[in-house]
Amino acid sequence: MIHKLSNTHFQAILTVVNDAAVAYKGEIPVDRWKEPYMPAQELQEEIEGGVQFYVYTENGCVVAVMGIQPVGDVTLIRHAYTLTSHQRRGIGEKLLNHLLSLAQTDCILVGTWETAPWAIKFYQKHGFTLLSKEETNTLLKKYWDIPERQVGTSVVLEYKGQPK
């Protein structure tokens, strides 16, 4: 039920991302919130920029999405979203474990909003460790292409590999 992105999934990915991203509304800085949270052009740019998306389907419908992006000597987990109606059923875990198994580097990083405790909890539950603010700033500037404002309001976690 996990598939690599194909052209037929593009619209469905947008639907899942923009449904799940509602969790950010009122939680992340107001100036970083937008609707839709991810426009089609941004998804296209992310794919062209090297994010490899995987989807989780149920009865042929995409219900979750997650991306992996090799950048130099690290691998980034990008854009993790499960439909609001399907969250907390272990789908994110299945996708994350799949992507972790694909990573070709020792170091696997994920960035998220510092005001998204549920996401931080999700990654910590699956073997990621929250890095210091100093490390976070350095890594975000080195491996991510995001605005300065987002750097100041994000956290980075590193996969240390211990089982749940």
Q: Which residues bind ligand COA (CB under 6 A)?
A: 20-21, 23, 64, 80-82, 87-93, 112, 116, 118-119, 121-122, 125
Structure letter (DSSP) for residue 20: H
Taking the C-alpha atoms of residue 121 and residue 124, their distance in angstroms, rounded to an integer, is: 5
Find the shortest distance in angstroms from Cβ 10 to ligand COA. Answer: 18
Specify the residue for token string 């941004």: 42
**Which residue's C-beta sits nearest to ligand COA?**
92
Nearest Cα to Cα of residue 65 among 75, 78, 56: 56
Between 7 and 9, name the residue whose CB sits nearer to ligand COA.
9
Find the shortest distance in angstroms from Cβ 104 to ligand COA. Answer: 21
Find the shortest distance in angstroms from Cβ 142 to ligand COA. Answer: 18
- The answer to whether 156 and 111 are in contact (CB under 8 A) is yes
Between 53 and 122, name the residue whose CB sits nearer to ligand COA.
122
Between 70 and 94, name the residue whose CB sits nearer to ligand COA.
94
- With b meaning 16 or more CB within 10 Å and e meaning fewer, what string describes 148-164? eeebeebbbbbbeeeee
Find the shortest distance in angstroms from Cβ 94 to ligand COA. Answer: 7
- The answer to whether 9 and 55 are in contact (CB under 8 A) is yes
Find the shortest distance in angstroms from Cβ 22 to ligand COA. Answer: 8
Between 23 and 47, name the residue whose CB sits nearer to ligand COA.
23
Evaluated on CA atoms 34, 75, 118, 14, the torsion sign reads positive
Between 92 and 127, name the residue whose CB sits nearer to ligand COA.
92
